[in-house]
Structure 1
Amino acid sequence: MKSTTTIRDQVTAYLSNQGLSINQFAISSGINSGTLSRVIKDRQPIAMNHLERITRGMGLQEDYFYSLYVDECFHHSAPTWRRLRPFLMRSAALGRLDCVEQVVLNLLENLVYAPMLFEVAEGLFEQGLWHAAALLYENVSTSEKYQNSERLAVCQYRLFRIGLGDDQSSNLRVAILFECFIDRLNEADQLDGLKDLLDVYYSLQKWSKVNELAEKMLQLATLRYNLQLRSKRKPDNERLPSSPLYLYILRSHLFLSSVCMEYGDYKSAIERVSLYTDVSWIQETNDEAKRILAQFKEWGRANIYLYRLLDGQLEVLNDYVEFISTQPDEIFTAMYNIVKSANRYNWNVDHILERFSSYIPYRTYNSEFGEYNQQVMADKHTRFLAELAAYYLHNKYYEKFTNVLLNLESSAKINNESIAITCVDLFEQYRYTAGEEEMEKYKLLIRTARNSKATAF
């Protein structure tokens, strides 16, 4: 059958080989016999539902004719959106990105289809079919004539979201590409875009950028929230951000407090805690607001302990430990900061590491707002392994030497060069304590990292 060139040729050959009449196949396939006759005789285009029934009737895999159907839609009949839209959606669902790309490239010869393809991309994005959606967003972006177009900005926002993964270098690239489009978004999308960018730059420890974007999100969210309070009713069809406006304000203050912490300004960090825990200005009193405000108050209490701990106030350690012991989703972050402080101030925290040893392996954590950002947690876990390895070796627990290798492996996985360099430096300092097995694994990891770096370029 594959020697023929059109779907009609193959259907005709099938009927002949099986000794079937058009009426018989019409009954078995569920297509009206008159319609089937016109389709086979090339007097009527093949609709998508006809294609599905013909394929099923012939006992073939669902996407068997998909490559030929692209020709059917563009070269054997005039392209119509009624046929192409369902074909695009089904091709995406079946992973036939080759067909998606062929249809998109053909359609965009006429730019009138760009808005329609954008709407399909949005639908695919919502369904989680991100690879197919990315193809559409990329091509719609290329076809966009106006650089200040909101549709172009939305395409870039979606491509940014799709492009995020474990590789921190790649995350930085897609963040930089998207950032220059954020001001062209609708204000509701701007808030979500700023939140997503903040998560990426936070995971990359780009603190000046976190500070800049948090201030920007704070200003925009505060303006919109004040307008919302003054307005008697919502404008019709107003686009809303994914979260309540007050949440963006609280998150901004939380980010800004964290920046103070990272710069070592613990006094300012503590002062900023009240900005996201003293919430008398929030007008909402529903259950969602109560849950959100309770979460921020909990974070505020934990962070005051944390900032004092990082400032070297050993007397708060036991209180901090007892507090986080009742908050399972906060234990890992607390352990990271406890070990970090122990290394800075030469404390012994063996009893804490033993108590919470089950939280050392990587896992996902949740808050009132769902699962913690994957990039942030992957980076934090890698940094924790670096601090833990340093703690063990500085305290002469040489049997824990494998922690250095685990950290090196983790940093290579997320392509975090600065942590990898820290691991190499730590390994070389304590090389004399490494066994033969550790030496071989170290050489293998270094070789793998070099090969990955060479491949990237």
Structure 2
Amino acid sequence: MVPIIATIRDALSGHLSQQKMTINQFAGQSGINSGTLSRLIHGQQPIAMNHLERITRAMNLPEDHFYSLYVEECFDHSPPTWRRLRPFLVRSAALGRLDCIEQVVQQLLEKLTYAPMLFEVAEGLFQEGQWQAAELLYKNVSESEKYQNSERLALCQYRLFRIALGDDQARNLQAAHIFECYLDRLDEADQLDGIKHLVNVYFSLHKWDKADKLAQDMLHLATLRCKLQRQSNRRQNDEKKTEKPLCFYIYYSHLMRASICEEHRDYSSALKFVNLYMDTSWIDNNDNEAKRTVVQFQEWGRANTLLYQVMSGKQEILTQYIEHISSQKDEIFVALSNILTSANRYSWNVDHVLEQFAAYIPYKTYATEFGGYNEQIITDQHTRFLIELAFYHLHNKRKEGINFILQSLESSARINNEGLIIKCVDLFEQFRHKADEDEKLHYKLLIREVQDSHEKKALYTPSFL
């Protein structure tokens, strides 16, 4: 008859009996004092996290083998203590035991006094990149404080917004809508970073008015904060710091507004914004990070001054622009994308450019010397690039354009961009006669996947989307 194991103590006692080991022998094997081990077995002392780890290791079991039982140990067999629960939550996160975290959190949040401590653990996990576990904690803390109107609640929502961002543009929009309601409750430093991420989301979704308004808000808040710092003539040591130097947010506002003008084909206005983010006359900060930021925007300004001339139809600038960006390897894909858009708009032949930069056409996440491109923006741009590439080849009577339509359609479906899906479908139907039977079948399967995906998403997509 197999013994019923109700507790870790039962398992340990059974192991000793089965192996015919004494407490002293197991103490030597586990590294736990024999007196302590005896008290643990007889329920006279709670099992600490380091005891659990040593017992599990000595029994030659997976580290998380007793984790479900340990939740009961922490609540049913002894009073809960944060000294035991905190390391248990951290290790559960590291081992992917979200079920154990959920069990602990549900019991702890019956008392609101644990909310600040759980939030602190969530912040640590967030910084370490363990976002799944952090998300679970943030959601539970938010739920417990939903009527508190606290900064901690706003921070939870900010972190949940960051965690939610991914390839699915509809879900990104939903996350942005939810987070915006909490933006004003954040500390100014978090507000600036929150606005920056919101600008990126709305820009990737082509919601230009919304992105422009937020960019202006970012400029206003960053400028005000800069003035206050100058007036105090010192850095506020107790002041929460932004992810980037303050000058970054001012320059980034101008950069994004220039990009929005670019999307509206208003290149003269875009160049005015370029001049603003290349202006260094007001910079008086000798901080190394600030210096790097100035160099970053100076480089982007020089490149974009040439780019906006190219995009306004000045083909004679194209060679100069290509020479400029050729040495900036992490900038080449973005430049190539803009060159191709211009080529399609003005019927230029850019075969030599596509051949020169063929290695930069497959999708990659581009991390520059000064930091990575926003992933949502670059994924959206690469999907659009594929359809521009398809049009370019088909316009030049090249059958390989069909393959690029299919690649763009697949990517459009993955990021859930209905506008791009429609463009791909429209272009494929225009040139269906050029597709072979395999390509037609691939297209049919992709359309079926899109339809199935939309039917599933319609079941839970909020009405405001």
Structure 2: how far apart are the matches of 1:243 and 1:221?
A: 11
Name the amino acid aligned to 1:81.
W
Q: CA deviation at 1:398?
A: 2.2
Deviations 1:402-452 (A, max 9, x none): 111111111112221111110100000011111111111111111111122
Q: CA deviation at 1:147?
A: 4.7
Name the amino acid aligned to 1:301.
R
- Correspondence for 1:398: 399
Change (3 A) 1:115 1:399: closer
Structure 2: how far apart are the matches of 1:399 and 1:236?
A: 59
- Correspondence for 1:39: 40
Change (3 A) 1:286 1:123: closer
Structure 1: how far apart are the matches of 2:156 and 2:398?
A: 51
Aligned residues of 1:292 and 1:368 also touching (Cα < 8 A): no
Name the amino acid aligned to 1:29.
S
- Correspondence for 1:53: 54
In the alignment, does 2:193 pair up with 1:192? yes
Structure 1: how far apart are the matches of 2:107 and 2:411?
A: 43
Name the amino acid aligned to 1:380.
Q
Runs of 4+ in 1 over 4 A off after TM superposition: none
Name the amino acid aligned to 1:281.
W
Q: Once structures 1 and 2 are overlaid, which stretch shifts more, 394-403 or 432-441?
A: 394-403
Structure 2: how far apart are the matches of 1:114 and 1:36?
A: 33
Match of 2:78, SS state, is coil
- Counterparts of 1:25-424 in structure 2, within 5 Å, are 25-424=26-425
Aligned residues of 1:291 and 1:368 also touching (Cα < 8 A): no
Change (3 A) 1:442 1:33: same
Name the amino acid aligned to 1:28.
Q
Match of 1:91, SS state, is helix
Aligned residues of 2:392 and 2:401 also touching (Cα < 8 A): no
Gaps of at least 5 residues in structure 2 are 460-465
Q: CA deviation at 1:247?
A: 0.9
Q: CA deviation at 1:366?
A: 2.4
- Correspondence for 2:13: 12
Structure 2: how far apart are the matches of 1:446 and 1:311?
A: 36
Q: CA deviation at 1:61?
A: 1.1
Q: CA deviation at 1:145?
A: 4.7
Deviations 1:181-212 (A, max 9, x none): 11111001111111111121111111111101
Name the amino acid aligned to 2:442.
K
Structure 2: how far apart are the matches of 1:90 and 1:332?
A: 41
Q: Once structures 1 and 2 are overlaid, which stretch shifts more, 92-101 or 446-455?
A: 446-455
Aligned residues of 2:389 and 2:401 also touching (Cα < 8 A): no
Change (3 A) 1:356 1:236: closer
Deviations 1:385-416 (A, max 9, x none): 11111111122112432111111111112221
Aligned residues of 2:413 and 2:421 also touching (Cα < 8 A): yes
Change (3 A) 1:420 1:132: same
Q: CA deviation at 1:364?
A: 2.4
Match of 1:401, SS state, is helix
Structure 2: how far apart are the matches of 1:400 and 1:200?
A: 29
Match of 1:398, SS state, is coil
Structure 1: how far apart are the matches of 2:412 and 2:125?
A: 33
Q: What's the TM-score once normalised by structure 1's chain length?
A: 0.97
Name the amino acid aligned to 1:240.
K
Q: CA deviation at 1:228?
A: 1.0
CA RMSD, 1 decimal: 1.4
Change (3 A) 1:427 1:284: same
Structure 2: how far apart are the matches of 1:142 and 1:48?
A: 28
Name the amino acid aligned to 2:171.
S
Structure 2: how far apart are the matches of 1:121 and 1:85?
A: 11
Q: CA deviation at 1:238?
A: 1.5
Q: Once structures 1 and 2 are overlaid, which stretch shifts more, 108-117 or 328-337?
A: 328-337
> Alignment identity in percent?
62
Q: How many residues align?
A: 457
Aligned residues of 2:278 and 2:297 also touching (Cα < 8 A): yes
Q: CA deviation at 1:2?
A: 6.8
